[in-house]
Amino acid sequence: MSQSDTFWSELQKLFTVVGQIDSSGRLVRASPLLAAQCRWQAQDDFYFFESFSFKRPTSFDGRYESAREAVGQLFLGFNNELGFAVRGQVVDYSGIGLDGLCFVGVPWLWWMEGNAPDQSLTMASFPVHDVQMDQLFFMSTQQSMVEDLQALNEQLKTAKQDVERSNEARQSFFHHVSHEMRTPLNGVVSSLSLMRDLGLDGKLAEYAGLASRSADRLLEVINFTLESASIESHVSDAEFTDFSLDLLIEECLAIASPLVIERGLELRRSGVQKFARPYRGPVKLLRQILGNLLSNAVKFSQSGTITLGAGINEDNSDEQADIIEFSVADQGPGIPDEALPRLFTPFATGLSAETKNHQGTGLGLAIVQRIVEALGGEITVQTVLGEGSIFQFAIPISHAPDDVQIEVARYPSLASADAYRGRVLLVDDNETNRLLNAKVMESTGLDVTTAGSGQEAYDALAVENNAVDLVFMDLDMPGMDGFEATRRIKALPGAETLPIIALSAHSSARDRQLAEEAGMQGFLTKPLVLEPLRAIYTRYLAHDGATPETDEGSLLAPESPVATEAHHDSSVEGALPEEDAGATMTFDRQPVDRLIHEVGVDILQTLVDKFLTESAERWELLSGSLAAADRESAVREFHTLGSACLTFGITAAGEKFRQCEAAAIEKNLPGDEVLLSIAPLLAEGISQLQLLLSEQRG
Amino acid sequence: MYGVINKSLRDMVVEQFGEAKWSEVLQRSGVPDDSFLAMQSYDDDITYSLAQACADEMEIDLSDALRAFGVHWVENTVAKQYETLMRAAGSDMLSFLGNLNNLHDRISSTFLNYRPPSFEIKKDAGEQVEILYLSERVGLTPFVEGLLHGLAARFNQEMAIIEIVPQPVARGEQTLFKLSMG
């Protein structure tokens, strides 16, 4: 065997596609695979470079000379007709007997996979060192891998959506259930509170106290559940308003003051730093944080001073915001070391032997921590047993433009709350109204007792006729009405001069006349508002060191500012209820805003919850009365429901009830189908009322 | 073993018995999830647990389950994903078996942790063929038996396994398959 034959043979061990090409470009010798794929036989005129379309080298033009210039470069060529493609290089072995040029390489597998998949290449078609088969296996598996990942991605996406949906459903369920639980529970809390006010003795007082504490605790847990479910959304949706930090601090101190005074503690603001600039931030959340911390400090302190501090951290490069450092310090018993790690954990408290009587739920601090963190801060506590604790946190608060108008504090100061002194008896058969109006009156510092009927009021005053300084008497009550009760009270020895003010949902001239004839000194239209009440107080009660005014001028005259305080004029008395509520709006937020201002949103929420419970019962009663054509009962329920609706701004439904009441009084009792027209108005009004309260509670 | 094996096992159960049955198999196996990635290496115990759970769930012997899996592996997984390689490895059963080690060697350059079995083929002048199967793993002889049946079906090869003879070995598993190929 010649040297060239030996070399040719060795080449075919390294490559499966080997061809010797003479200077004319003609294939003169071919490896078996090349020969088979090109259907070439010796002596055939097969011009190798012209038979393939070469994608590489790009400089190659198909001529022999061009191939010589491309020696050592990668050649990629294909022949569609043959269904064959080659991958290799041109080499010049003319020096060792292989004249011309040689092409050495392998089948171009990727081209053939795509363009000639039926060509039966085998593993023998590729030398063992060639990686195209490996790549093919890799690519096949890689494709499978990509499909796996895509499938996995879809699964994760679906799972994420499922989790989110499930989470939303769970949140919604918890929220709904918590709301549903809160409403009746508020009734329990209010009733227990009233029971305790009755001055129970012995075991009854003990059990009522236990029930009251348990109900309070349960209410706190439910409120926490509601808040927990929505803190993140509260923070992200929090209303950012322009505010004065000084005013906010003063406001928080004012809110905490009553309890501080009651517990014999002191409350002050540390430092003298005033915040000259206005800020823009989630003021409701800040108020909630500081309120919770102050409330906690008061709850656990037996004596000493509670200090609220706020200052600017100067180590801040942000020119658009300040880092405000807040602190609430108390001189209470301190927190035991073992309680510190779980202090901010829901349902854990820092209770010690000294503080175990303060059965909080341990939820307030958990909420505070979550809000502080959501606002970009961190809350810490330093404590020394027997000396007290300091809670501190710092959060960035943006600057507001210097010329913004700042909302003034919406909470009345203690000074204004203390403006009047005196004992008041409030007589009203409607429990919601009674509770609400008692709260309004208490907010001005008065000592208020209540009676649920004319008879009850008379009985109370018959026992001790100088027990009160002023009476507010509802006119429309079952049994002994307000007129009769007034006449009887006035007949009691020593009660002739006791001022009695009429309360009525109506302001008709006839009612005023009857009130005056019964001996009443004033006439107020429900719902009660603070300013006309103040006029009454000023006249009949001591205030700010002054004695009651002695002017006996009547407050019953229609033109007097008190008497004309009629927000819901029942000018349609006697008319049949119309199907269309006309232009009356479903909900009027004005009276609700006023009540929030006067008694605070939390108390109002409690009262609204009570109203909702009571309304449902009264609705049933009314429905039964109408079905049985029981006019007297229907008049009473129309009246009560109408009055309560108008009190809470549920205007359209309230007016409807009023119209029905007037019609029923005129012996034109509507059928029970009238309830169908009132129901949607009532539902919509309640819905808007709840929404407003929810917004206000933040 | 690589995820492609576990995926194939799942596909076999799903195709033949449905998703619900696979969920039961998975639960029975104690394997926490079945999101296998083809090219990821998983602990052998996962594959063994799944195979055992399949057998228990179908109330058949593990060897029967592995035999069925061997057939499925050739007829479905390999044929669908690696058809070009299958074709390249041979156009008849004997040449394919002859190229099998070569094929596994190539796979080893991509799958670095790949520990493939090896096969030694002996053919006498007649129809008898002997295949010596050697593996680092234990217990997969029935799977190989299924593979041989699957290959015979693919290549339309008449084949009968005359005898399966376990060979003494210090580590792993070694089995002699005596086949008759018409």
Whole-number pLDDT of residue A563: 36
Q: Do B102 and A128 touch (CB under 8 A)?
A: yes
- Note whether B55 and B95 are same-domain residues: no
Whole-number pLDDT of residue B15: 94
Cβ–Cβ under 8 Å, residues A27 and A21: yes
Chain segment A375-389, per-residue pLDDT in tens: 889 999 999 998 899
For residues A382-397, average pLDDT: 93
Report the C-alpha gap between A63 and A69 in whole angstroms.
10
Q: Which of A2-11, A304-313, A429-438, A630-639 has the lowest mean pLDDT?
A: A429-438
* Residue of A125, A132, A141, A153 to mutate when probing chain B, most B C-beta within 10 A: A141
- Note whether B108 and B29 are same-domain residues: no
Whole-number pLDDT of residue A1: 73
Query: Which carries the bigger pLDDT value, residue A147 or residue A560?
Result: A147
Whole-number pLDDT of residue A408: 47
Report the C-alpha gap between A585 and A650 in whole angstroms.
8
Q: Is the pLDDT of residue A357 over 70?
A: no
- Note whether B91 and B44 are same-domain residues: no
- In terms of phi and psi (left: phi > 0; alpha: psi -120 to 50; beta: otherwise), the region of A519 is left
Domain ends where: B18, B34, B60? B60
Whole-number pLDDT of residue A35: 95
The answer to whether the peptide bond before residue A548 is cis (omega within 30 degrees of 0) is no
The reply to whether B49 falls in a domain is yes
For residue B154, what is the domain's CATH number? 3.90.1520.10
Q: Do A122 and B89 touch (CB under 8 A)?
A: yes
Q: Is the pLDDT of residue A567 over 60?
A: no
Locate tokens 């379309």: which residue?
A: A53
Q: Do B85 and A133 touch (CB under 8 A)?
A: yes
Task: Report the residue of chain B nearest A132, measured CA to CA.
Answer: B106
Whole-number pLDDT of residue A566: 34
Q: Do B110 and A121 touch (CB under 8 A)?
A: no
The reply to whether B22 falls in a domain is yes
Q: Is the pLDDT of residue A680 over 90?
A: no
Q: Do A152 and B91 touch (CB under 8 A)?
A: no
Q: Is the pLDDT of residue A123 over 90?
A: no
Chain segment A39-92, per-residue pLDDT in tens: 999 888 999 999 999 999 989 999 999 999 999 899 999 999 999 999 999 999
- Note whether B174 and B86 are same-domain residues: yes
Whole-number pLDDT of residue A235: 62
Check CB contact of B155 with chain A, cutoff 8 Å.
Answer: no
The reply to whether B20 falls in a domain is yes
- Report chain B's C-alpha Rg in angstroms: 16
Cβ–Cβ under 8 Å, residues B130 and B122: yes
Q: Do B88 and A121 touch (CB under 8 A)?
A: yes
Q: Is the pLDDT of residue A393 over 90?
A: yes
Whole-number pLDDT of residue A265: 84
Contacts A152 to B, Cβ<8 Å: 35, 37
DSSP A65-92: HHHHHTTTSEEEEEETTTTEEEEEEEE-
- Note whether B170 and B82 are same-domain residues: yes
The reply to whether B65 falls in a domain is no
Taking CB atoms within 8 Å and a gap of at least 24, the contacts of A314-320 are A316/A396, A318/A396, A320/A398, A320/A399
Q: Is the pLDDT of residue B113 over 80?
A: no
The reply to whether B174 falls in a domain is yes
What percentage of chain A reaches a pLDDT higher than 90? 24
- Note whether B149 and B80 are same-domain residues: yes
- Note whether B150 and B111 are same-domain residues: yes
Report the C-alpha gap between A429 and A477 in whole angstroms.
6
- Note whether B88 and B137 are same-domain residues: yes
Q: Do A121 and B36 touch (CB under 8 A)?
A: no
Helix residue ranges, H only, A464-529: 482-490, 509-518
For residues B108-121, average pLDDT: 85
User: Which of A148-152, A501-505, A588-592 is modeled with the greatest confidence?
Assistant: A148-152
The band of A548, judged by pLDDT with boundaries at 50, 70 and 90, is low
The reply to whether B27 falls in a domain is yes
Contacts A113 to B, Cβ<8 Å: 84
Contacts B39 to A, Cβ<8 Å: 141-142, 144-145
- Note whether B77 and B48 are same-domain residues: no
Q: Is the pLDDT of residue A435 over 50?
A: yes
For residue A161, what are its two tokens? 């959506």
Numbered residues of chain A with Cβ closer than 8 Å to any chain B Cβ: 113, 117, 120-123, 125-126, 128, 131, 133-134, 136-138, 140-145, 148-149, 152, 155
Total structural domains within chain B = 2
Whole-number pLDDT of residue A231: 62
Cβ–Cβ under 8 Å, residues A34 and A107: no
Chain segment A411-425, per-residue pLDDT in tens: 343 334 445 778 899
Query: Which carries the bigger pLDDT value, residue B162 or residue B126?
Result: B162
Domain that holds residue B127: 70-181
For residues B53-75, average pLDDT: 95
Domain ends where: B14, B41, B60? B60
Cβ–Cβ under 8 Å, residues A312 and A322: yes
The reply to whether B109 falls in a domain is yes
Whole-number pLDDT of residue A359: 46
Report the C-alpha gap between A542 and B121 in whole angstroms.
117
Whole-number pLDDT of residue A530: 62
Neighbour-count burial for A304-339, b at 16+ CB within 10 Å, e otherwise: bbbbbbbbbeeeeeeeeebbbebbbbbbbbbbeeeb
- Note whether B52 and B84 are same-domain residues: no
DSSP A219-275: HHHHHHHHHHHHHHHHHHH---EEE-HHHHHHHHHHHHHHHHHHTT-EEEE-S----
Amino acid at A645: C
- Note whether B120 and B155 are same-domain residues: yes
Q: Do B3 and A148 touch (CB under 8 A)?
A: yes
- Note whether B83 and B149 are same-domain residues: yes
